[in-house]
Amino acid sequence: MQVVQVASDKQIGIAKARQKFGNIVESVQYGGEAFVISRNGKPVAAVVPVRVLEQYQREREELFGLIERVQAVNQNADPDEVMYDVLEAQQGLRGKQQL
């Protein structure tokens, strides 16, 4: 998996984003910047480079494909046994991350 590098997110209010939308798009397109647009101080949307969106879409499709394959393999399995296996794998991964 390739990680797409993006300049630090910049937060901007929705009113200011409307006024500066052209500048925001240029900063995203040419500078690789990302903007989080907020309304009443809460994030509601993001403007990111297309490559970031495309990476997200690819990874999402891969994840859903993996979920479908796991479901197909385990369709007749005991749900409690599957949950145990999932939790065991999750704990194993967390242990590796702490090393």
> How far, CA to CA in Å, does 24 sit from each of 10, 34, 37, 55?
10, 9, 11, 21
pLDDT of residue 37: 95
Average pLDDT estimate for 87-92: 87
pLDDT above 90 as % of the chain: 56
Q: What are phi and psi of 68, to 5 degrees?
A: -65, -40
Distance between CA atoms of 16 and 37, rounded to whole angstroms?
A: 9
For 9-48, which CATH superfamily applies? YefM-like domain (3.40.1620.10)
**Which range is most confident: 41-45, 66-70, 72-76?**
41-45
Start-to-end CA span in the chain (Å): 21
